[in-house]
Amino acid sequence: MTTAICNVCHGRGGPIEIECPDCGGTGYDLADEKPYAQCHTCYGDQTVEVEDCTACGGTGEVDVDADDNSNDESDDLDDVDDQ
């Protein structure tokens, strides 16, 4: 198994801003019965700041299998070219 730079925090580890886990990045409280009720976690900002990256645990690196290309940015670049 090898390591690669985390694609969520880009190797910083933290503190970073991530999509709000409570509203899913919408900024609205989906459980509230009022339409357009502001999220009580991110207060409508759609992101929250965390001390340690939730993907790598703050190390800045993630473990990947040698044959796993899920963290390979070249696949992402191919998707951009297709658009």
Q: pLDDT tens digits for 26-63? A: 999 877 777 788 999 999 999 999 999 989 999 999 98
Q: Sign of the CA dihedral 7, 11, 13, 14? A: negative
In the numeric block, the tokens 């925090």 are attached to 9
Domain residue limits, the chain? 1-74
Higher pLDDT, 81 or 56: 56
What pLDDT is attached to residue 82? 47
pLDDT value of position 76: 46
Short-list 2, 6, 1, CA closest to 56: 6
User: What distance in Å separates the CA atoms of residue 14 and residue 10, rounded to the nearest whole number?
Assistant: 10
List the structure tokens of 58: 């703050």
pTM greater than 0.75? no
73, pLDDT greater than 70: no
Nearest to 48 by CA among 27, 78, 18, 72: 18
